[in-house]
Structure 1
Amino acid sequence: MTIDVHGHVTPPELLKKFPMPPSLGDIDGMVERKAALGITTTVVGSPVGAGTMLPVPGIDNYAQPADALARFHDWVAETVREKAGALAGYVYLNPLDGSASVAAAAELLRRPEFVGLIVNSSVRGEFLNDSRSDEFFAMAAETGAPVLLHPPAVPVAADAMKAVGAIEHVVRPCDITMGVAAILLAGRLRAFPGLKLIAPNAGGALALLAEKLDMAQRRDGVDGPPISAQLRSLYVDTGTPSVPALRAAAEVFGPDRMLFGTDSPPLATPLDAALASVDALGLSDEDRAKVLRGNATALFGLDEVELRRAS
């Protein structure tokens, strides 16, 4: 049994409204393809809520009406129920949006279909070191919900990289790197010690920057344990085709903090290649099992979720 902590789904009306990969709506196909390879559960959500990751003139993902987001989450919950055991859900919100959004997300987390939160690593060019994120981080720490820090549709510096492929495969991993670094340098893990943060894409370039982050911390006079030590408090997923990046992640974050993730759908990376990348790390059987399922089961409380559903 393998658990994929990073998948995306989209309701039919949004697929008709926005230009999106059709795979986001092929939920039956996703479940079947993954099950054939032993990937039995996928944690799914949307990094844009009822919006779109592809640029559409006049569409602002951060200006979604509350009722549209409520309908989207109702659909996610229904889809999770229909695929009992094969799916679990993320709650989406804008972490800089204030009390009402935070309260709505906390309420959704009470539903057994939702096991975590998905937010953007930057919002309109701002990282989450801004004090407006305090309410969000406090709620995430209090609930214990894992937070997937997903790059946004328009990451920082996207205007300087016009090609869509470059934005997706270069700029977004950089947004993860900068966004998580901003959180760490702002002392969020010290202020909210219960936070469970997941950096996708093997943490971007964070595994290569531990010493540089310590230097930045010392230069800025930031108190607390070295950032390089705080990195061991983060989780990362394996959603990258780069085995060297995964090896660096295993060394810096440790196998206890690695989660199998594919970003599929919509990413078209072959699922068997994603599994083979984990095998290529040469982990012990115990650590391999942790990466493929054990860490995710414990982090998301998936055994408890099944008990809640059954009751």
Structure 2
Amino acid sequence: MIIDIHGHLSPPEAARRFPMPPSLTDVDGMIADREAAGIDLTIIGSPVGAGAMMRVPGMDNYAQPRDRLRAFHDWMAGVFARFPEQLRGYVYVNPFGDDDHFEGVRETLADPHFVGLIVNSSVQGRFLDSPDADSFFAFADEIGRPVLVHPPAEPAGGAAVTDFRFVEQIVRHADMGTGLAMIAFAGWLEKYPDLKVIGSTGGGAIASLVERLDAAARPRPWGAAGTPPQGSAGPAGPPAGGRPDAPARPAAPGASVRRMYVDTAVSSQAHLKLNAEVLGPEHLLFGTDSPPLPRRLPDLLRAVEQLPLDEDGRRAVLGGNAVRLFGLDRTAATALVSPPTAERSSHV
């Protein structure tokens, strides 16, 4: 079974409001392309909820009311009802949302077609090392669903870049790697050991940052008796942000990185190979980021086939890891063959 854990679709209403590639509203075309490529299941989601992935004056993706997000996820549920064997979904989450927002997420998750959460690597310039993200990580740990971390529409530092092509290809990539590094450095995976974090677009540069993260956590050579100055991190270092309710920063955050997962939606074979070497094939998940990216699906499958892995490793990357991580071995036998209403009632 081949599973693509990183795809996107948008409702026609959103295409009328915001600029976006036509492929994002072509549900039938997406399904046909995947059938032709031999992809059995795709997990789709929106990193902006019902918002916009392009810069739109006056649009604040993080100020979407609960009813607007409910309507968006209801549209997704309708698409799943049309293609119950080919699609699953992520619920959009603002990691700095209030209790009402999280209650809306919980309601949406009552539909078993939604198998994970999608969250931005930064929010209006704030990364998820902030203690204010504790409610989100506690929630994700409680419900036990994987979290796909995705670059935001407006990545940190993006406002200083005038060429949107550079924002799309470079700044979002940097935001992704920095966002995962901040999650590891903050100690969230130590505080919530059952968290399942997935870095989209290959996790940015996270595989190349493991040693640097560990170096950042070590005591500096200056300071009394070799201890780090006040406010810096070291073994059993201070909580992130200096707040007592925040997790203590780990002595070796690189170990947290090695517990993360990344997808294969990358631009080069060298990047894909580095992820396989550093994180291991058991932490790679096949993903395409298509739509909207106009990638040839056979080429992306071939890139996984060309990794220096044995047959078991390739099978794991192409689908086995996703089956295990998302619990698809438990839901496939029931959710894929039951009508949506029966699935919802049986799940509850």
Listed as ranges, the matches of 1:1-311 within 5 Å are 1-219=1-219, 220-223=233-236, 224=250, 226-309=252-335, 310=338
Aligned residues of 2:173 and 2:204 also touching (Cα < 8 A): yes
Shift in Å, 1:264? 0.3
Instruction: Output the aligned Cα RMSD.
Output: 1.2
8 Å Cα contact 1:95/1:102 also seen in 2: no
Q: Distance in 1 between matches of 2:218 and 2:187?
A: 13
Structure 2: state its 5+ residue gaps. Answer: 220-232, 237-249, 344-348
Contact kept? 2:80, 2:113, Cα under 8 Å: yes
* 8 Å Cα contact 1:174/1:205 also seen in 2: yes
Contact map agreement 1:12 1:25 (CA 8 A) in 2: yes
Paired letter, 1:263: D
Q: Which amino acid aligns with 2:292?
A: P
The one-letter code sitting in structure 1 at the alignment partner of 2:284 is M
Q: Secondary structure at the match of 1:96?
A: coil
Q: Percent identity?
A: 48
Amino acid at match of 1:304: R
Q: Distance in 2 between matches of 1:226 and 1:85?
A: 42
Whole-Å separation in 1 of the counterparts to 2:181 and 2:316: 26
Partner of 2:244: none
Q: How far 1:9 sits from its partner (Å)? A: 0.6
Highest Rg: 1 or 2? 2
CA spacing shift, 1:190–1:66, aligned 2, 3 Å: same
Cα pair distance change 1:71/1:57, threshold 3 Å? same
Does the 8 Å contact 2:70/2:108 carry over to 1? no
Whole-Å separation in 2 of the counterparts to 1:89 and 1:304 = 16
Quote the Cα distance in structure 1 between the aligned partners of 2:60 and 2:282.
Answer: 37
User: Cα offset for 1:82?
Assistant: 1.0
Match of 2:245? none
CA contact (8 A) 1:241 1:269 kept: no
State the AA in 1 paired with 2:300: A
Q: Distance in 1 between matches of 2:313 and 2:20?
A: 36
Letter in 1 for 2:265: G
Q: CA deviation at 1:243?
A: 0.7
SS at match of 2:258: helix
Letter of the 2:261 counterpart: Y
Which runs of 5 or more structure 1 residues have no equivalent in the other structure?
none
Distance in 1 between residues matched to 2:155 and 2:49, nearest whole Å: 16
Distance between the aligned counterparts of 1:33 and 1:179, measured in 2? Answer: 32
**Normalising by structure 1, what TM-score?**
0.97
- What secondary structure sits across from 1:148 in the alignment? strand
Q: Give the equivalent residue in structure 1 for 2:223.
A: none
Deviates more, 1:8-17 or 1:275-284: 275-284
How many Å apart are 1:54 and its aligned residue? 0.8
Please state whether the residue corresponding to 1:36 is helix, strand or coil. Answer: helix
In 2, the alpha carbon distance for the partners of 1:106 and 1:131 equals 22
- Which residue in 1 is equivalent to 2:226? none
What is the rounded CA distance, in whole Å, between the counterparts of 1:22 and 1:127 in structure 2?
A: 31
Does the 8 Å CA contact 2:218/2:251 hold for their aligned counterparts?
Answer: no
How far apart in 2 are the matches of 1:135 and 1:122? 16
What CA distance in whole angstroms lies between the structure 1 residues aligned with 2:77 and 2:332? 14
Secondary structure in structure 2 of the residue aligned to 1:233:
coil
How many Å apart are 1:125 and its aligned residue?
A: 0.4
CA positional deviation for 1:305: 2.1
Q: Which moved more, 1:191-200 or 1:100-109?
A: 100-109
Q: Deviations over 1:192-227 (max 9, x none)?
A: 111000001211111111111100111421534522
The residue identity in structure 2 corresponding to 1:221 is G
Q: Which letter does structure 1 place at the counterpart of 2:270?
A: P
Give the conservation status (yes or no) of the 8 Å contact 1:40–1:86. Answer: yes
In the alignment, the residues of structure 1 paired with residue 308 and residue 30 of structure 2 have an alpha-carbon distance, to the nearest angstrom, of 28
The AA in structure 2 aligned to 1:226 is A
Contact 1:91 1:118 in 2 (8 A): yes
Amino acid in the other structure paired with 2:159: D
TM-score relative to the length of structure 2: 0.87
Give the superposition deviation at 1:307: 3.4
Give 1:161 deviation, angstroms: 2.0
Give the aligned residue type for 2:180.
V
